[in-house]
Amino acid sequence: MTLSRRTLLGFGFASLAHLMLKAPVRSFAQNSYFTWAQLRYDGFWNPNPRAVSRFLSVLFRRTSVEVQPQPRPVELTHPEIFDLPFLYVSGRSALPEFSAKGRDNLRRYIEHGGFILFDDAAGVEDSAFFVSAVDLVSAILPGRRVAPLASDHTLFQSFYLLQHVAGRKIVKPFLYGIDLEDLTPVVFSQNDLCGAWDGDASGYTYACTPGGETQREMTFRLGINLVMYALTGNYKKDQVHIPFILKRRQLIR
């Protein structure tokens, strides 16, 4: 089933309604609400294999979003991507040349309401992964400009009120995005978000530089905001929610 923009964003309003209620003690639901879909491609597509499950556990504990506890690998040519409102793409080297069908599916996914997060795990400025990701999206959405997100973008207010971006390594102090209508359905990070979350029971795999554990916590918060933005879009721009946002600002300081 192909989901329209209205259907996908409809998921978000239900999610926000859950969020604004006090969450009871819960266990993971078998029929979960949110699935972290991760693009599987020919190459090193999963550089931080233990990161997402840890992040999803944090997302589950801190919000009322029902989640699948493990990410779901998906391929561009498979129609299941149209049932999933969030798609994560990561790597440390250039993306492969996708088939015409894969590129067309990616374009349709974006235009029909899907959200894509490209997370560069290389830890260097303008890496081969980042350049290839920008080239890919620019080719399937000609005329759309990749630009830094403004500090007052709704994404930075969708759950936490954030003033800075984060990640394993602060390669760029901002996120990039492409706008479509009044939304930003494609976001690029050069800071290796999942690298800040990766680890096992003995601890985290990588140090976060230059901000240490505070930076790691900010990366978890940014990840939650990204998921909430994918589900709710620009809902928080509605002026009626300003008191709620200001109240939350006081609670998280």
CATH classification of the domain holding 81: 3.40.50.12140
Element (H, E) at 117: strand 115-120
pLDDT digits (tens, 9 = 90+) for 33-76: 799 999 999 999 999 999 999 999 999 999 989 999 999 999 99
pLDDT digits (tens, 9 = 90+) for 107-153: 999 999 999 999 999 999 999 999 999 999 999 999 999 999 999 99
pLDDT at 17 over 50: no
Q: Percent of the chain having pLDDT more than 90? A: 76
Crossing angle (nearest 10°) for helices 212-232 and 5-19: 130
Q: What is the bridge-based pairing of β-strands 37-39 and 86-91?
A: parallel
CA angle in degrees (0–180, nearest 5) for 131-188-120: 65
pLDDT digits (tens, 9 = 90+) for 174-189: 999 999 988 999 999 9
| Contact by Cβ (8 Å): 127, 92 | yes
**Sign of the C-alpha dihedral computed for residues 210, 214, 220 and 224 taken in this order:** negative
Q: Which domain holds residue 120?
A: 5-252
Structure confidence at residue 251 (pLDDT): 41
| Structural domains of the chain, count | 1
Distances (CA, A) of 15 to 9, 12, 158, 229: 10, 5, 12, 11
DSSP, collapsed to helix, strand or coil, labels residue 50 as coil
Q: What is the mean pLDDT of the chain?
A: 85
The model's pTM: 0.83
Element (H, E) at 62: helix 51-62
Q: What is the bridge-based pairing of β-strands 176-180 and 183-189?
A: antiparallel
Structure confidence at residue 33 (pLDDT): 78
